Amino acid sequence: MAIIDWSKLVIAMLGGDRREQEIARLAAATGAEVRVHGFPWPECGIKRVTRLDDPAAVLKGAKFALFPIPGIAPSGALFAPTAPKPIIPDRAMLAGMQPRAHIILGWADDNLKKHCEALSIGIHEYEWDRALMLERTPAIIEGLLKIVIENTDVTIHNAEACVIGQGTIGTVLARYLVALGAKTHVVARNPEQRAAAFVAGATAHGLEALPDLAPRLDLLFSTVPSRVVGANVLGVLRESALIVDLAAPPGGVDFETAKRFGRRAIWGRGLGSRAPVTVGASQWRGIRARIEHVLQDEH
């Protein structure tokens, strides 16, 4: 097995939130040159990490670029709530990276994939890495509970709550809601997932049952990254109901229609920032493993 000389690596980071502070700190601790742009910068800085104002300068000469987990907006912009302007990694910007460079991120949209294919840049997506997702799920759920508490006038206990989707986040969320005493419903296409939800203490339904279920709900959570909460559901929800979309873009909720009906709908992107040190460290473990795997394959 080849020994990796981290001091010869240039790692670029664009976008993100306080989780990226921890990732940058841990990346720099390896001895790599780390350049960043577009996430909150601490007053004392980060040791051995260089912050630049120009995203293209951050990427120039980089072997690896790290983009955030929450994904890319429909506009092509990276998740970067505190950046002075949207960060859209176009072909000209990416062309400054090293030959045969690599991008590690939550997931890539079609435009980014096309640019990377044209430039022979490798893409490594980890939005669907189940082990990594499970490690950061507690922070996501805690962030979600904060949103619910701040935006409702009822307790979670005894509330009628529905989780759409039973992937990693949906499965854990349903268990938390049951434990908190909510009257928990799960909507899922997969019969095996519905059976597992029933065993966990929830009432399971097929997706076709959602419009009939909606009028009784206090809380509706979507974890499915396709439009499943449209006018047929939003139009019959209680006015007091809270909707939270936990899915990656384009999300599962039609926010325009929700606004038209006067429903409270929140896109819960970046909830892992609830515990940035814990989540950042777990993300770095996954990122580091991917970097090591790439470099070992190249030797």
**CATH code for position 223:** 3.40.50.720
Task: Point out which residues pair with 35 in neighbouring strands.
Answer: 12, 50
- Rounded to an integer, the average pLDDT of 43-51 is 96
pLDDT of residue 2: 63
**Which range among 87-91, 106-110, 126-130, 165-169 has the greatest average pLDDT?**
87-91
Bigger pLDDT: 130 vs 224 = 224
1 located within any domain: no
Q: Do 262 and 282 belong to one domain?
A: no
Bigger pLDDT: 136 vs 238 = 238
Q: Do 174 and 261 belong to one domain?
A: yes
For 164, phi then psi, to 5°, come to -95, 120
Question: The tokens of 298 are what?
Answer: 């190249």
Dihedral angle, C-alpha 230, 235, 237, 242, nearest 10 °: 60
Q: Do 142 and 262 belong to one domain?
A: yes
Residue with token string 């990122």: 287
How far apart CA 246 and CA 140 sit, in angstroms, is 9
Question: The tokens of 208 are what?
Answer: 């076709």
Residue 1 has pLDDT above 60, yes or no: no
Q: Do 21 and 119 belong to one domain?
A: yes
Q: Do 141 and 264 belong to one domain?
A: yes
Residue 63 has pLDDT above 80, yes or no: yes
**Predicted structure pTM score:** 0.74
40, 267 Cβ separation under 8 angstroms: no
Going by their DSSP bridges, the two strands 33-37 and 10-14 should be labelled as parallel
Q: Do 70 and 160 belong to one domain?
A: no
Q: Do 102 and 150 belong to one domain?
A: no
Q: Do 219 and 117 belong to one domain?
A: no
290 located within any domain: yes
Going by their DSSP bridges, the two strands 160-164 and 183-187 should be labelled as parallel
- Rounded to an integer, the average pLDDT of 34-54 is 97
In a 3-state reduction of DSSP, which class is residue 125?
A: strand
The count of domains in the chain is: 2
In a 3-state reduction of DSSP, which class is residue 213?
A: helix
What percent of the chain lies above the pLDDT cut of 70? 99
Q: Do 113 and 173 belong to one domain?
A: no
Least confident of 28-37, 130-139, 206-215: 130-139
In terms of residue numbers, what domain contains 85? 6-127+275-298
Q: Do 123 and 162 belong to one domain?
A: no
Least confident of 12-21, 77-86, 135-144: 135-144
- Rounded to an integer, the average pLDDT of 201-228 is 96
Residues in the chain: 299
pLDDT of residue 90: 96
- On average, the pLDDT of the chain sits at 93
pLDDT of residue 133: 79
250 located within any domain: yes
Q: Do 244 and 143 belong to one domain?
A: yes
